[in-house]
Amino acid sequence: MKKKAAAGLALLLLVSSVAAGCGEQPKTNTNPAPGSNTGEKKPEAKAFTVSLRHTQVRDDAKLRLKLLEDVAKKMEANVPGLKVELEGVEDKVNRFEKLPAEMAAGTPPKIFDLFGGTDTQKYVKANRLLDLTPILSELGLKDKFFNLDEFMVDGKVYGLPTAGFVEGVFYNKKIFKELGVEVPKTWDEFLAVSEKAKAKQITPLALASADGWVINMMMNTLWVRTAGADSVAGFLSGSKKWTDPDVLDAFKRYETLVKKGYFQEGNLGLKYAEQQNKFRIGEAAMLFDGSWANSAVVDPEKSKIPNDVGFFNFPGVGGKGDGLINGSYSNGYGFSAALNDSELKAVKEFIKLMYSEEMQKRQLKESGFLPAMKLSDLSGVNPIVGEILNAANAKQFPAFDSVVQAKVREALEAGMQELLGGKSTAEKVTEKVQKAQDDANKDTKK
């Protein structure tokens, strides 16, 4: 009956329009009755919420948070009914506490900060991550990224890096000039620069080690210098040990820096941001940090040395890993495998916006983060980025904590804090870490 009525109404409208074309135009009702359907207003979309977990919670991440907020607003404008619920969590808490618990329970956010490597692999094994391979093809992004290896499992992509990074040494060009030194190319030259800075009551190396991972940025580079980039894989397979002479050599070199007093005083009681603060107020000659720190140290509103900052790869030590640089595309976003159709549309919109030339360049210019995607235009970026990109041309190796087990990372962090506090030695630290490695390897094989 409804079909017949609809057909009759359609025929009536058709006859009326033909008649109108032959004679007088019908009068238009300029004031339609309330609730009448004029054909212009679309039905409202059903409201839904998508959770977005990010780690842009520190003071130095405000610009990246603003970028993310802009992406969220555009998502809401482009996807009918969508409300994006932003949740900021400290990166270590997210990675090592909240997200693992949520993954175990099967209740992760729909969009979340994700590390590549072992993190991605274990979540894929648990069927918690969305396969992005077809989505990248659909959106034309398949070949736009520099490197997706850390987020690939069995040839499929399960996460997208937001930026690339390298770790190396920021230095104060003005202080170097006053000390009469050049960028060190060898370990001995590095020690000589540090000694000259200390003699002038200048902190040779800014460091804030209350967060153990900060210490291990330089430590990771040091043992790769002495033992090679394949050492980390060897720790997991058992073919390499933390107590091996070439690995121990690196820890002894770090111990030398500690004993000579080249690190920032009281560093064990200082949170990560304090090492950048020490450097940017001009009280430290050098700062070992990730490339992401460049925006903070050259920001004229926060830094006293915005035009005096340089960057170099850590000098060689005469080992098999000389010249390599710690760098990768290991931090980005992952997406829950449990999405309904509306949530999937929101995820695709997030990817389309976040991984666009506009947002990647904004990230580079405003926050100093190296793009994860190939950009056609690099004009207008700070000169320090050029020095970092030059250093990044070296062969890269991944950060150890994206490969080793959590127990090993924790043992290394605790051991290095004890070393800095004078409560341990290089030998004791490596023995402790090897014990944790043996235990972790046994657990992995179970």
Domain 166-327+396-445 indexed as CATH 3.30.360.10: no
Q: Supply the pTM of this predicted model.
A: 0.77
What pLDDT score was predicted for residue 296? Answer: 87
What pLDDT score was predicted for residue 402? Answer: 85
Q: Is the dihedral of CA 87, 88, 92, 97 positive or negative?
A: negative
What are the C-alpha distances in Å from 425 to residues 188, 270, 321, 400, 420?
A: 22, 22, 23, 21, 9
Query: b/e for 70-97, b at 16 or more Cβ within 10 A?
Result: ebbebbbeebeebebeebbbebeebbbe
Tens digit of each residue's pLDDT, the chain (446 residues): 333 333 333 333 333 333 334 344 444 444 544 444 555 566 788 999 999 999 999 887 888 999 999 999 999 999 999 999 999 999 999 999 999 999 999 999 999 999 999 899 999 999 999 999 999 999 999 999 999 999 999 999 999 999 999 999 999 999 999 999 999 999 999 999 999 999 999 999 999 999 999 999 999 999 999 999 999 999 999 999 999 999 999 999 999 999 999 999 999 999 999 999 999 999 999 999 999 999 889 989 989 999 999 999 999 999 999 999 999 999 999 999 999 999 999 999 999 999 999 999 999 888 888 999 988 888 888 889 889 988 998 999 999 998 899 999 999 999 999 999 999 999 999 999 999 999 999 987 77
What pLDDT score was predicted for residue 250? Answer: 98
Q: Tell me how many degrees the CA angle 162-167-168 measures, rounded to the nearest 5.
A: 145
Q: What is the CA radius of gyration of the chain?
A: 28
What pLDDT score was predicted for residue 366? Answer: 84
Residue with tokens 């009914």: 81
Structure tokens at 421: 């506090």
Closest alpha carbon to 337 in 52, 130, 106: 130
Structure tokens at 179: 């000390």
What pLDDT score was predicted for residue 42? Answer: 63
Cα atoms in the 13 Å half-sphere on the side-chain side of 148: 21
- DSSP result, 27-51: PP-SSPPTT---S-SPPPPPPEEEE
Structure tokens at 416: 């290095």
Q: How far apart are CA 50 and CA 130, in angstroms?
A: 15
What pLDDT score was predicted for residue 444? Answer: 79
Closest alpha carbon to 71 in 340, 331, 374, 348: 348
**CATH superfamily name and code, 48-161+330-371:** Periplasmic binding protein-like II (3.40.190.10)
Domain ranges of the chain: 48-161+330-371, 166-327+396-445
- DSSP result, 430-446: HHHHHHHHHHHHHHHH-
Q: How far apart are CA 288 and CA 214, in angstroms?
A: 9
Displacement of CA 38 from its chain's centroid (Å): 50
What pLDDT score was predicted for residue 40? Answer: 58
